[in-house]
């Protein structure tokens, strides 16, 4: 799947633009989103996933934002 730069820019600059320390780096077919050097989300296609921790200690990502293309 190709990276969608327009969705990346929307998330990084419009949605998260007011949050301090936000950066992103290409990762596989999407981008990793960092705050102060710690990854907390990923963008894959037109979906934004945030890191979450379950009670059993498993770290995973869940989608809370999706745009229909």
Question: In the numeric block, which tokens belong to residue 56?
Answer: 């059993």
**pLDDT computed for residue 2 by the predictor:** 66
Question: In the numeric block, which tokens belong to residue 60?
Answer: 């995973």
Q: Report the Cα–Cα distance between both ends of the chain, in Å, rounded.
A: 14
**pLDDT computed for residue 69 by the predictor:** 45
pTM: 0.72
Q: Average pLDDT by consecutive 10-residue portion of the chain (69 residues)?
A: 83 92 92 91 88 57 51
Number of domains observed in the structure of the chain: 1
CA distance 19 to 6: 19
21 three-class SS: coil
Residue numbers of the domain that contains 58:
5-66
């Amino acid at each position: 799947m190709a990276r969608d730069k327009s969705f990346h820019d929307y998330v990084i600059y419009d949605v998260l633009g007011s949050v301090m320390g936000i950066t992103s780096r290409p990762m596989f077919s999407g981008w990793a989103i960092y705050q102060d050097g710690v990854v907390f989300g990923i963008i894959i296609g037109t979906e934004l996933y945030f890191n979450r921790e379950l009670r059993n200690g498993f770290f995973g990502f869940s989608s809370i934002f999706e745009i229909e293309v």
